[in-house]
Amino acid sequence: MNTALHRLELTRLVASSGWSKRTARRWRPGYLNAGAVAVLAILIAGFVFSMMTNWPRSFGHASPTANGEPARRAVAAADPAPASDDASLRPETVPLEAAPVDGLRILSQHWRRGGLGSNALVTFTLRNRNDYAVKDIEISCAFSRRDGSHLTDRTRIIHDTVRMRGRKRFARLHVGFVNVNADRAKCTLVAASRI
């Protein structure tokens, strides 16, 4: 009799909740649906993958330089300790070569709005102190409000050449679209190619 009342109450509950009788028969409390388990497994795997790939950045271990530029790395062959004192058996060390962008400097820069106020036009002078000409110069400009709070970043590659030990002025270079609240801009050099 107790079982009959239980089934009767379950039937009334199903009828009042909008479930069909067929769905109510298939559903068993205490068991998870296979689809729900698959979705849960995918979410956990995605979270673990993102934590593994972003580990240094997510806990503040990134290595930017003092002015916020990304740190540049140079690769050199390691000089292991020699097994003997014979100089001919020691491996040669490869000297570190400076990146082409290290010899470039922005001497002066300013920006203004173009178009209907949404285009950023930057004017600056580049100085190349390298013993070779450079091309494909990548710059990154950070835009901020009047109070100094950061708004947006824009990156642009300049497909032009700056001769060795020379200067070149770039006037009203379109960097990209910018927020209408932007008041200040600071451009930095990111990369360059040696010719």
Domain membership flag for residue 4: no
pLDDT digits (tens, 9 = 90+) for 53-63: 765 554 444 44
* Confidence at 124, pLDDT banded by 50, 70, 90: very high
Domain carrying residue 188:
100-194
Whichever domain contains 118, its CATH number is 2.60.40.1620
Q: For residues 73 and 79, give the distance between their C-alpha atoms in angstroms, rounded to a whole number.
A: 18
Contact 124, 170 (CB under 8 A): yes
Domain membership flag for residue 82: no
Domain membership flag for residue 133: yes
The end-to-end CA distance of the chain, in Å, is: 92
Of the listed ranges 19-23, 32-36, 58-62, 146-150, the least confidently predicted one is 58-62
Residue 23 has pLDDT above 70, yes or no: no
pLDDT digits (tens, 9 = 90+) for 63-102: 444 444 444 444 444 445 555 555 555 666 666 677 888 8
Tell me how crowded residue 144 is: count the other CB atoms within 10 A of its CB: 17
Name the domain count of the chain.
1
What is the percent of the chain where pLDDT is above 70? 61
Amino acid residing at 145: R
pTM of the predicted protein model = 0.50
